[in-house]
Every structure is written in structure tokens, then in C-alpha cells.
Structure 1
Amino acid sequence: MKKGILVIGLLMLTISCGEYQKLLKSEETAPKYTAAEKLYNEGKKEDSNKKLRKALRLLEQIEPEFRGKPQGERLVFLLGDTYYQLGDYYNAPFQFERFLQLYPTSQKAEEASYKSAASYFYRSPRYNLDQTDTRKAIEELQVYLNKYPEGEFNEDANKMATELLIKLEKKAYEIAKQYHHTEFYKAAIASFNNFIADYPGSPFREAAYYYRFDSAYKLAINSFEVLMEERLLESKEFYESYKKYYPEGEYIPQLEDSLLEIDKRLQNF
């Protein structure tokens, strides 16, 4: 009996696949439209990439045939969203942006705007790689938030934008820190100055103040005597900046030890 049920199941699957192949080869668009929408809905509900890929093949075939027709709006959105559901974050924003150009007043315009921006978010690489997609995602998320200040996806869009901004901050911070660790102290000081100016609310801000001081301190004590006094005084200014904003900061012990050495050396001038 079990074998019989299995045979029937396989037969039904074969017929289903056979019908789908016939549908792909058919020139009739109406059955393709119905099947594509059914596969899309089932694939999305069941989280089935197999059904979504089948839907995608049909949608790609028939979408050009419905341009300018009432069904065209629905099909362009379905095409973009099928790419999105499949995790194709390169084709998805292209289709969503095309949808917004063709149907700017559609009821689906907000969702298309959000998912287009979210696609760039998912394309954003690790912080130590090129961040072109990260900047594009921030830009697109801001466009969405500006256009839909009370939008359905605002909470998620804000979380995404915050995560991306922190990623850019981390990249800038790590570049400056790398200069410090490789003893390019002048470049480190300049980078930390830029970082502090550009990211006033960063979680890496305190560390940036400390490493800026430490870079200046190490540059000073390794300088020729003719340059040392000026650089020691500059490092002392950076010490005061850190203490101003972080009077009980985690780097206070290291700072105090370095300050003793700075004052000791300044006595020679």
C-alpha cells in the first residue's frame, strides 16, 4: 500500500512537472499568468525557493507581453518581489526601481521603495571591504524614510540605517587604528581627527580619542629634539580633550602613565 501511494505521488509530481514544461513552451499568456501568481503565492507562503524559481521563469516570459495593460503593474511588482524573496538583491532593486518609475502612485509603491533599499542593505559587505553598496543602502533607506515618515517599514528601515552607519564608522575607525598599529602616527592622528569630526555619536569615539592621544605621544617621544617639545605639547592637548569628555574613561590609567612621561620630558625644555 505504501509503495502504491509513493508511485501515485511520483506520478502526480511527474505530471505536474510535465504540465509546467508545456506551460513554459506555450504561447498563451493567460494560463502562464495564473500559474505564475499561484506559484509565487505558494512559494512565498511555504518559503519554497523551488516554487519561486518556477514562478520567476514564467514571470520573466510574460511580463513584456503585459506592458501597458492593467495586469502590467501587478506583474512588474511580482517580478521584483520574486527576485527579492529568492535573495537576488541585484535584480530585485532594478525591478523595484523600474516599478516605481512606471507606477509611482501604486498602492505597492511604499513596499517597493522599502524593498529596493533593503536589497542594498543585504548587499552591504563586511566593514573591511568596499562600502559602495553600504553608502547606496543608507541613501535609499533615507529616501524611503523621508518619503514615508509614518511608513509601515519605518522601524526596520531605521534599524538597517543605524547598522550600516556603524559599519562605516567601524571601517573608518579601523583604518585609523591600523595607521596607529603600523606606527604611521601622523596619518593616524589625521584619521582620528577626521573620525571624531565625522562621527560625533559613534560607539568608537572614546577609543578614537585615546588612540589619537597615544599616536601623538608616541610620535613625540620618537621625534628629533627640535620637534619634540611641540609634539609633546600637542599630545598633552589631546590628553586634555580625552579627560574633558571621558573624565572616568576606561583608558585613564594608560593616559596618566603617559602624561607622567610627557611632563618629565617637558622639564628638559
Structure 2
Amino acid sequence: MRTLSFLLLMSVLFISCRSNDLIRPGDTIEVAFEKAMNQYREGDYPEAAQAFETVVSIGRGTDIGQEAQYYLAESYYNDRRYLLAASEYERYAQFYPNSFRREVVDFKRAECYYFLSPRYRLDQSYTRRAIENLRLFNSRFPDSEYAEKSAQYIIELREKLARKKYEAANFYKRTSRYEAAAIYYDLVIDDYPETEWAERSLAEQMEAYILYAENSVPERQEERFRLALESYNTYMQLFPRGEYRSRMEELFDRAQDGLDGIAGNIRPSTSSTQ
């Protein structure tokens, strides 16, 4: 019975404390902001966000309104509601472009899109937006304490975009659409040359051209075997000690044998009339 009474008393006290943190009609903007800050400090970010929204709506143009705008974004950020956080950080930057908080606001806005970036198989709109915002941040604050982290984020996001294109190329290759595969491998090589997927793409592209040649009509085989050799030459220039060098040597021999067969009027194996 005493335990039940104690729990009831604590519940009443808890409700009373929470009630004291609610913004009421007649509260001054200072009181409303302090109530919002109390909820923020307690880690009650959803309630804090609602409270800061109220303060922002009544305090626009004041110093307290500016503070509330920042902590509104922070509340969404800490609650992992990143799309809302990014929007509020952007609003802060628009309203207060010369604020001493501009650096951290711009970084966290970009970081929100980084957190929203999904796994590589899904739509990469947020990934591209993150890269755009991170690059803008780096150009605006090159000496920032966040510059190294920002650069690392960009590397990670570009690896993801490169892999998405690489996997698309693999799909075309698996389904015998060799020309499309070669084009997509080329996009990886041209757009993301610093990623691990560029080296892989050159190896896969060379094999795609060989398969394309082997499954082509005789009059188109030579040019496609030569495209394979171009991939080999590019690989050797870019990755002379690369991970896939031995495979490239094997593919080189295969392409060269194909060309030798054409020169000697020995037709390589064909299975279609592409």
C-alpha cells in the first residue's frame, strides 16, 4: 500500500513538473524560451521542438527568436529527424547569415543529408544533396574544425555513388547487354576515378568488350576486341601495380587471341548476331 501511495505521489509530482514546463498564454517570451530550454536539457527533444516552434513564431526578429530557431534545429537533429533539422538549419542560415553559429549550422545541415543517405541500391538524391552541401561548406570554411570530417563524408558518399553505377554495369553484363555494361563501367571510371570501383570497372569493362566481340557478327569483332585492349592500356596507365593486374593479363591474351583468330580467318566462338 505504501508503495502504491509513493508511486501515485511521484506521478503527481512528475505531471506537476511537466506542467510547469508547458508554455501557457501570457508567458513572456523569456519564460517561454526557458521552458523550452528545460525540455531540451532534459533530452525531451520532441516536446522541446514544439516549444521552440512556439517561441520562434512569437519571437521572430528578436535575439531570443534567433536562439530558439537554432535550438529548434538542434532538437530535430538530436531526435534524428534529419529532414526537419536540415530545413530548420537552412532557415537559420537564411535569417541570420552573419551569425557566429553559421559554421556549425552549415556543417550540421550537410551532415543531416549525410545521415539521410540510404544504402547504395536505393535512390541517391540525399547522397548527392549531402555532397553538394559538404562541398559548399568546405569552400566557405576551408579551415574549419569540421573540414576533415566533411572531406571524409564526401569520400564515403562518392564511394556509394560509384558502387551504384558499378552494380548497374554488372547487371547489364550478367544479362548479356555488353555495350550498356561497358558504357556504365566507363561512367564509374570517368566520374569516380579515385574510388576503388574505378579499378574494378576497368577490369569488368575489358571483359564486357571481349564478350561483346565474341558474341558479335564477324565484321564487328575486331573493333570490339580493340576496345578491350584500350581498357587494358588504360588500366596499365592508371593502376600499373593494381589488384587486378593478373586478371587483366589473362584478358589481354584472350582479346589478342581473338584478333589473331580474325587475322587468320579463324572465327572466334559466336552465339548471336549482334
Q: Is TM-score (shorter-chain normalized) higher than 0.5?
A: yes
Deviation at 1:2, TM superposition (A): 5.4
Query: After alignment, is 231-240 or 173-182 more displaced?
Result: 231-240
* Residues 261 and 159 of structure 1: CA distance in aligned 2, closer, same or farther (over 3 Å): closer
Query: After alignment, is 118-127 or 208-217 more displaced?
Result: 118-127
1:267 aligned counterpart, secondary structure: helix
Tell me how many residue pairs correspond in the alignment. Answer: 260
| Residue in structure 1 matched with residue 33 of structure 2 by the alignment | 33
- The TM-score normalised by the length of structure 1 is 0.87
Structure 1 residues without counterparts, runs of 5 or longer? 44-50
Aligned sequence identity (%): 29
Where in structure 2 are the equivalents of 1:25-64 lying within 5 Å? 25-30=24-29, 31-43=31-43, 51-64=44-57
- The TM-score normalised by the length of structure 2 is 0.86
Segments of 4+ moved more than 6 angstroms: none
Letter matched to residue 37 of structure 1? M
Distance in 2 (CA, whole Å) between partners of 1:264 and 1:159 is 44
Distance in 2 (CA, whole Å) between partners of 1:153 and 1:115 is 10
Distance in 2 (CA, whole Å) between partners of 1:149 and 1:253 is 41
| Residue in structure 2 matched with residue 69 of structure 1 by the alignment | 62
Query: RMSD in angstroms over aligned alpha carbons?
Result: 2.1
* Residues 175 and 59 of structure 1: CA distance in aligned 2, closer, same or farther (over 3 Å): same
| Residue in structure 2 matched with residue 19 of structure 1 by the alignment | 20
Distance in 2 (CA, whole Å) between partners of 1:240 and 1:157 is 35
Work out whether residues 29 and 62 of structure 1, in 8 Å CA contact, stay in contact via their aligned partners in 2: no
Deviation at 1:4, TM superposition (A): 5.4
Q: Once the two structures are superposed, what CA deviation does each residue of 1:212-241 show, in whole Å capped at 9, x if it has no partner?
A: 100000111111112222222332332333
Letter matched to residue 208 of structure 1? S
Letter matched to residue 16 of structure 1? C
| Residue in structure 2 matched with residue 100 of structure 1 by the alignment | 93
Deviation at 1:68, TM superposition (A): 1.6
Work out whether residues 120 and 164 of structure 2, in 8 Å CA contact, stay in contact via their aligned partners in 1: yes
| Residue in structure 2 matched with residue 197 of structure 1 by the alignment | 190
Distance in 1 (CA, whole Å) between partners of 2:86 and 2:143 is 22
Deviation at 1:209, TM superposition (A): 0.9
Structure 2 residues without counterparts, runs of 5 or longer? 264-274
Distance in 2 (CA, whole Å) between partners of 1:102 and 1:262 is 62
Q: Once the two structures are superposed, what CA deviation does each residue of 1:40-94 show, in whole Å capped at 9, x if it has no partner?
A: 1232xxxxxxx22221221112211111222121111111111111111111121
Q: Once the two structures are superposed, what CA deviation does each residue of 1:167-189 show, in whole Å capped at 9, x if it has no partner?
A: 11111221122211211101111
